[in-house]
């Protein structure tokens, strides 16, 4: 019997991605998807009516995995395929497939939980954040009458109720031996009671085998009688923190209002050992300064910046809408391989810049930022070239 050639499989199969084989992902509205980049599936499973492992073991997910193994492209994965067809690395190829035999899931304990069901409370009002991801943003956008300009959750019900939450907790504990990693997402996860309830209920004998990772704004690393150090001490030593930031100093405070920069930077120093990256989302208000942002966090804290995400929605904040002459300069700046971004990061930025601009979207973005300026201070004093 011929030996399975995994390198050949990765090279020839243009559909396979390990995430449907090892990750359980849900959005903040409770809808399960194949991954955070995937489009909506036809099944419409949600955390309110289906527990995570029931979804993962469902006939629909088995069909997805069969199709991937056979090299059949899936409509849910269009985002990655479109990038690949244009010659760009994608989320699928760059992060999980290229040369990575370890991403062929095997063994019993291999499931990653990435469930946005812990709540949407957040203490910040980041200017590009979707209202479904932050309670503060929903309140702010409603007051400003801009909430309709941002993508809305398709599932209008809360992702869980009392019954479904308890069923999910029970199922997670029943399947705890299958879990390799839990990725905590909010809202701001470290400030969510459900996050701490889940952490407390996982038995120590299993916790020591489970890696925990966070997407956090790192402005608060303590909550009532809990602290992030409780997690670090209880779970697998490879706790990993991705800190969300878009800039530094006054510009960061404006974008991620009302951020206390001094407190944030003290927390960076305190948990530096566990920070894997500072995650930057590229938008109108940082596209000119990406090298400077990277150097700031590297030089001051010894931290690396990841810039593999660009604002696509809302369109009014996308870098594609900058004036064409400006975009030409930025494409030239970021297209070279002679920078410290990964190839995937640079290409995602360039791919968005190469899209045709829409003047109305750009003007809508300027109008929106002028309205925010009434609360946060005049944005043009910080970004005089974006007017």
Predicted confidence at residue 203, as pLDDT, reads 96
Read off the tokens for 315: 């369109």
Residue 370 Cα distances to 193, 199, 290, 366, angstroms: 35, 42, 23, 6
Q: Are 22 and 107 in contact (CB under 8 A)?
A: no
Alpha carbon distance 121, 123 (integer Å): 7
| pLDDT tens column, 232-251 | 999 999 999 999 999 999 99
Question: Looking at residues 82-104, what average pLDDT do you find?
Answer: 69
Predicted confidence at residue 345, as pLDDT, reads 62
Q: Is the pLDDT of residue 267 over 80?
A: yes
Dihedral over alpha carbons 359, 361, 362, 367 (to 10 degrees)? 120
Predicted confidence at residue 33, as pLDDT, reads 94
What crossing angle do the helices spanning 290-301 and 261-270 adopt, rounded to 10°?
A: 50
Predicted confidence at residue 143, as pLDDT, reads 86
Residue 148 Cα distances to 129, 240, 279, angstroms: 13, 35, 27
- How many other CB atoms sit within 10 Å of the CB of residue 330? 18
Q: Could you give the 3-state DSSP secondary structure of residue 131?
A: helix
Dihedral over alpha carbons 370, 323, 311, 82 (to 10 degrees)? 160
Predicted confidence at residue 110, as pLDDT, reads 85
CB within 8 Å of 159: residues ≥ 6 apart: 26, 28, 29, 30, 46, 47, 48, 116, 117
Alpha carbon distance 26, 33 (integer Å): 6
Is residue 129 classed exposed, middle or buried when 0-12, 13-18 and 19+ CB atoms within 10 A define those classes? buried
Residue the block writes with tokens 């399947």: 175
Percent of the chain with pLDDT over 90: 65
Alpha carbon distance 313, 87 (integer Å): 23
Computed from CA positions of residues 173, 179, 180, 183, in that sequence, does the dihedral angle turn out positive or negative? Answer: negative
| pLDDT tens column, 134-163 | 888 888 888 888 888 887 766 667 778 878
Question: Looking at residues 161-179, what average pLDDT do you find?
Answer: 92
Alpha carbon distance 145, 164 (integer Å): 33
Predicted confidence at residue 99, as pLDDT, reads 47
Question: Looking at residues 338-353, what average pLDDT do you find?
Answer: 70
The rounded Cα 86 to chain-centroid distance in angstroms is 23
| pLDDT tens column, 4-50 | 677 777 778 889 888 898 899 998 888 999 998 899 898 889 998 99
Predicted confidence at residue 371, as pLDDT, reads 94
Residue the block writes with tokens 């504990």: 173
Could you write out the DSSP letters of every residue in 340-369?
SS-HHHHHHHHHHHTSPP-HHHHHHHHHHH
Which of 179-183, 285-289, 331-335 shows the lowest mean pLDDT across its residues? 331-335
Percent of the chain with pLDDT over 70: 91
């Amino acid at each position: 019997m011929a030996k399975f050639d995994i390198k050949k499989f990765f090279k020839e199969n243009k559909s396979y991605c390990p995430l449907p084989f090892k990750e359980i992902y849900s959005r903040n509205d409770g809808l399960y998807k194949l991954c955070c980049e995937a489009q909506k599936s036809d099944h419409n499973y949600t955390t309110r009516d289906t527990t995570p492992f029931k979804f993962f073991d469902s006939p629909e997910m088995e069909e997805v995995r069969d199709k991937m193994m056979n090299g059949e492209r899936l409509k849910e994965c269009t985002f990655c395929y479109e990038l690949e067809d244009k010659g760009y690395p994608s989320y699928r190829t760059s992060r999980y497939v290229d040369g990575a035999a370890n991403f062929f899931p095997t063994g019993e304990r291999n499931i990653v939980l990435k469930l946005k069901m812990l709540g949407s409370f957040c203490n910040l009002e980041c200017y590009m954040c979707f209202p479904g991801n932050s309670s503060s943003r929903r309140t702010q956008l409603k007051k400003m009458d801009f909430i309709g300009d941002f993508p809305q959750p398709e599932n209008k019900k809360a992702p869980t109720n009392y019954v479904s939450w308890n069923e999910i907790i029970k199922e997670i504990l029943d399947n705890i031996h299958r879990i390799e990693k839990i990725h905590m997402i909010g809202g701001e996860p470290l400030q969510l009671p459900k996050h701490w309830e889940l952490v407390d209920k996982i038995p120590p004998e299993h916790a020591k085998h489970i890696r925990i990772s966070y997407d956090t704004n790192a402005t608060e690393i303590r909550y009532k009688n809990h602290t992030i150090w409780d997690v670090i001490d209880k779970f697998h030593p490879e706790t990993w923190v991705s800190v969300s930031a878009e800039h530094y100093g006054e510009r960061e405070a404006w974008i991620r209002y009302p951020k206390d920069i001094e407190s944030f930077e003290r927390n960076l120093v305190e948990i530096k050992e566990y920070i894997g990256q500072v995650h930057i989302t590229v938008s109108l208000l940082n596209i000119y300064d990406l090298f400077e942002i990277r150097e700031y966090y590297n030089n001051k804290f010894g931290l690396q910046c990841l810039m593999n995400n660009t604002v696509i929605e809302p369109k009014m904040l996308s870098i594609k809408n900058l004036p064409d002459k400006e975009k030409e300069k930025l494409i030239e700046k970021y297209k070279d391989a002679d920078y410290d971004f990964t190839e995937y990061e640079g290409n995602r930025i360039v791919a968005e810049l190469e899209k045709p601009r829409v003047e109305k979207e750009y003007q809508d973005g300027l109008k929106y930022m002028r309205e925010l300026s009434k609360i946060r201070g005049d944005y043009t004093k910080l970004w005089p070239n974006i007017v």
